[in-house]
Every structure is written in C-alpha cells, then in structure tokens.
Structure 1
Amino acid sequence: MAAYHYAEAKGADPTAPLLFVFHGTGGDENQFFELAGQLLPGARIIAPRGDVSEGGALRYFRRTAEGVYDMDDLRQRTAQMTTFVQERLAESQPRAVIGLGYSNGANILAAVQFAAPELFSASVLMHPLIPFVPASADFTGHQVLITAGQRDPICPAPASQALADYFRAQGAQMSLYWHAGGHEIRPEELREAQTFLAPFAG
C-alpha cells in the first residue's frame, strides 16, 4: 500500500470522473484542491501531499539542483505514486481518470504517465520540466494539455515544446498553450484548462 496524506472530495456519482491533483514545490494538498472542483465540477478529487522535504518545502521527489533530478529517487517515487493512483482507482468505477499538476506536481504526473500510460485518460501539465528523454509509450486516445510560459526561467520553452512533441509522437491528442509570462499560473491558462476538462464533466 502506498501511503500518502491526501485531501479528497467524493463525487456523488460512483462513476464520476476521478481527478488527481498534484501541487508545486512548497505547496500541499490544499494548493489546488478548491480550484480543481471549479475546473471539473462533480469529480471525485484526490490531492496527495508530496512526502519529500527540500528545506521545508514539500515536493514529490528529490533534486540535486534546479532542473537536476535525483533519477534513482524519481524512479522510486514514481513507482510509489503509481501504486497510490492504482489503489485509489480501485475504490470506484470512474468513467475517466484525469491528472492535473503544476511544476513539480506536473513532473511527477508526467513520470507516472511514462511508467503507466494506461492509468490516465487525460492530463493537464502546467509548467512541467522533463530534463530527460522518456521511453516510448503508447498514448493513443489519451488527451494531454501542456500550459507554459514563454519566459519561464524554471521550465525553458524548448523543454516544454520537446515534451509536447514527445506526447504527440506517442499518439496523444496533444494541446500546447503558451502565455507570455514566466513560471506563474495565469488566469488565461486556467480558462484553457477548464475548456480542456469540460467534456469530462456531467
């Protein structure tokens, strides 16, 4: 059993979409919990808290410097999170399983998708940074939205484009939304995420 502290909002409908929400560095399970309910009303929402501390800031896996990941730790934490998602999925019969993550949360979500592409029907990756080439996987029929800042100092634009190109090459229905700023989340990208998620509601 993969133990994470997590917040949960249960959908009234046992077949309601299951939405996993992953916070950024320094956030916690509450960072996007309320927002998630606004983006996909009626969903069962699960928001796990990262269990790695970086100077007191919660994360989902270790890094040795900005943009330099502890790859052994990432593999271990990815397996742990994959098990957690599988366990929560077994508790209901959702008609769709969706992930939404920001920054470090987007990175662990992407890593789980690379490891187990069958788990998520769709994902919203806000300002992800994947500084390695993922292995080939079949994402045919999966929907992916990446939102990114053109001047993001943490997640450079070429890295965001490369990740989008990867998903597209693996068969995903891929959308990439840019705003003119940096690493911050802007209202227009949240609107884009809401539009992306709308078909899964109801």
Structure 2
Amino acid sequence: MTDYAFAETEGAPGAPLVFTFHGTGGTEAQFHGFAREVLPEAHVISPRGDVSEHGALRFFRRKAEGLYDMADLARRTEAMIRFVSEARARTGATRVTGLGYSNGANILASAAMADPTLFTDLALLHPLIPWEPAPVPGLSRVRVLVTAGERDPICPAPLTRRLVSWLDDQDARVTTVWHPGGHEIAQTEVDQVVTFLRG
C-alpha cells in the first residue's frame, strides 16, 4: 500500500469495495462506520488525509478558500490512484464505490477524472471543482450522486451546477440532491446516499 494511514473493514468474498473520504478536519473515522452500517457485507477502506492545514487534515493543499494548489493536487491525485488501485487488486472487487464529503469529494472527483476506471460509483457530497476539467469519456460507465446546499458558502451552487453539467456532458449517470441550507450534510442527503450505496 502507499503511505496513507487508513481504517479497513474486511468484507465478504465478492462483496463491493467502498472507499470513504473525510472532509477538512475529519479523520478516517468520519464515514467509515456509516458505510459499514449501510453495506455490512462490503469491504470498507477509509484513508486519512496526509496534509495538515493549521492542524486540520486534508487530502491536498490549497492557497486560500476555493483556490487550490494545483501542482499539489496533481501529485496527491496520483498517490490516491495508486492507493485505490492497490486495494482494488488486493480485494478483487468489481463494484467499487467512492464516498467523499467536501475536500474528500474533491480528491475523489480528481482521482476519477484522472482515471475513470477506478470507480463504478461516486457519491460526491458538497464537491468544489473550481477548474474546467478536460473531457473524460470513460465516465460514461459511472453512476454519480452529487449532493449540495443551495446556500453553501464553501461550495457555491453555481460551481456545483457547472460540475453536474460537465458530468452530464460525459454521459455519466448523474443524480443530484439539493437542500436549502449550507455546507452541512442534511438528512435528505443521508437518505439519498443510503439508497445510492445500496444501488
């Protein structure tokens, strides 16, 4: 494996593999137990972000709110692709789901854009992709759930809609869920994530 610290729960033979990615300031425990509850038979792997921003763990550096260090993001995206690929090979799973919130959704999306064969399903909770991605035709095979808040000050709604439009252009199978609040995860999102994971 690569150098990420991570939590892992072994699943049944042939079961799906679920990766969870925490938000800024979270840890590998943020969604690990949730994924185990929703899919008790699944393999669940939850890496810990290896960047510290004033003590808050993240998956890549940023220069300011909404302004990413793109060179660092590229390096850490490659590291995450290796981490996921190694786990896929080790478990032999054919259905591979990524669930990420905020910064975790961003590293998940970046990895899937760089290698669209990594995941069969992506659950992106409050993602922020502030750049224009190049076309990724391979995402046409991927189911994607995007959830967001209409008044999210960290992930502005217009940028979320732009991401959803881009995913539509890639022919990904996209479902979107909005709530009227901000960056918090609403119960409507949780309910939809449960439905999505159980697929």
Q: Same fold (TM over 0.5)?
A: yes
Cα contact 1:52–1:58 (8 A) shared by 2: yes
**Deviation of residue 38 (structure 1)?**
2.1
Superposition TM-score, scaled by structure 1 size: 0.96
**Deviation of residue 151 (structure 1)?**
0.5
2:103 and 2:73 map into 1 onto residues whose CA distance is 11
1:99 and 1:17 map into 2 onto residues whose CA distance is 11
Counterpart of 2:66, as a letter, is: G
2:156 and 2:38 map into 1 onto residues whose CA distance is 26
Counterpart of 2:127, as a letter, is: P
Counterpart of 2:154, as a letter, is: I
Corresponding residue of 1:56: 55
Cα contact 1:16–1:43 (8 A) shared by 2: yes
State the superposition RMSD in angstroms.
0.9
Q: More displaced, 87-96 or 101-110?
A: 87-96
Superposition TM-score, scaled by structure 2 size: 0.97
**Deviation of residue 95 (structure 1)?**
3.1
**Deviation of residue 123 (structure 1)?**
0.6
Corresponding residue of 1:24: 23
Cα distance per residue 1:61-112 (max 9 Å; x no partner): 0001000000000000000000000011110221300000000000000000
Corresponding residue of 1:133: 132
Runs in 1 of length 4+ with deviation above 4 angstroms? none
Cα distance per residue 1:98-144 (max 9 Å; x no partner): 00000000000000001000110001000000000111112112100
2:70 and 2:91 map into 1 onto residues whose CA distance is 32
Question: What secondary structure does 1:123 align onto?
Answer: strand
Q: Please give the residue correspondences for 1:100-111 in structure 2 after superposition, counting only pairs within 5 Å.
A: 100-111=99-110
Higher RCO (C-alpha 8 Å, min separation 6): 1
1:40 and 1:99 map into 2 onto residues whose CA distance is 13
Corresponding residue of 2:6: 6
Question: What secondary structure does 1:91 align onto?
Answer: helix
Corresponding residue of 1:96: 95
Corresponding residue of 2:195: 195
Structure 2: any 5+ residue segments left out of the alignment?
A: none
Corresponding residue of 2:173: 173
Cα contact 1:39–1:193 (8 A) shared by 2: no
